[in-house]
Structure 1
Amino acid sequence: MISATFQHLDIPTLDGWLADQRAMTLVDIRDPASYAMGHLPGCRHLDNESVPTLLEQASRELPLVVVCYHGNSSQQAAAWLAGQGFKEVYSLDGGFTEWQNRYPDRVER
């Protein structure tokens, strides 16, 4: 059996994808209060309650980018989501913290 894997994505690459308006699904797995205080443009919050909706509605063919605080917990979530049939799954290296440091004017609230 082949195990599903994810890839690492750096912040400049994601910035380019967003600038090019590349079709993708962005999910943020941080706690709800942190997400509400700021998140990447177009990102949706993902927690245990919203996972079934994501699995039901999100295209398995589009890239799926998982964001956490620093790029650590997103790796486990990305591996799990890859195992759910998403073809192209990424964990954002540096997470939201690094995104906010580099692009403070590109944070949605």
Structure 2
Amino acid sequence: MTSSSFQHLDAATLSGWLDAARPLTLVDIRDPASFAAGHLPGSRHLDNEGVPALLAEADREQPLVVVCYHGHSSQQAATWLAGQGFDDVYSLDGGFTGWQMQHPERVVAGDADEA
């Protein structure tokens, strides 16, 4: 039996995936106010209450990218999600803060998911 784990993903690679419209699931585990203030296009806010819906709805065969503030707590969440049967799980290195610095044009605000 192999251990469930995640992979690290840099902002440049994720940007390329978004440019190519690669099917993926983006989840942001920051607090709701931070998410509303700005997040990656297409991401959904994920908190403890939202986990059952994610587990029920998300395609476990497409990449799942976890975003936090700086790329640290997303690693724990990514490890846990990999253990839930997702095949291809990533933690965004640098988190939202790094993404916003490198790609300010790719940040949206508002409470609604930008699917």
TM class, shorter-length: over 0.9
Aligned partners of 1:45 and 1:102: how far apart in 2?
21
CA RMSD of aligned residues (A): 0.6
> How many residues matched?
109
**Runs of 4+, deviation exceeding 2 Å:** none
The 5 Å alignment of 1:33-48 reads 33-48=33-48
Q: CA offsets per residue over residues 33-88 of structure 1, 9 Å max, x none?
A: 00000000100000000000000010110100000000000000000000000000
Query: Which amino acid letter does the alignment assign opposite residue 38 of structure 2?
Result: G
User: Which structure 1 residue ranges, 5 or more long, are not aligned?
Assistant: none
TM-score, normalised by the number of residues in structure 2: 0.93
Matched with 2:12 is 12
SS at match of 1:16: helix
The 5 Å alignment of 1:70-109 reads 70-109=70-109
SS at match of 1:49: helix
Aligned partners of 1:9 and 1:106: how far apart in 2?
17
Q: CA deviation at 1:103?
A: 1.1
Aligned partners of 1:108 and 1:42: how far apart in 2?
9
User: Which structure 2 residue ranges, 5 or more long, are not aligned?
Assistant: 110-115
Is residue 26 of structure 1 aligned with residue 32 of structure 2?
Answer: no
Aligned partners of 1:22 and 1:95: how far apart in 2?
20
Identical amino acids, percent of aligned pairs: 72
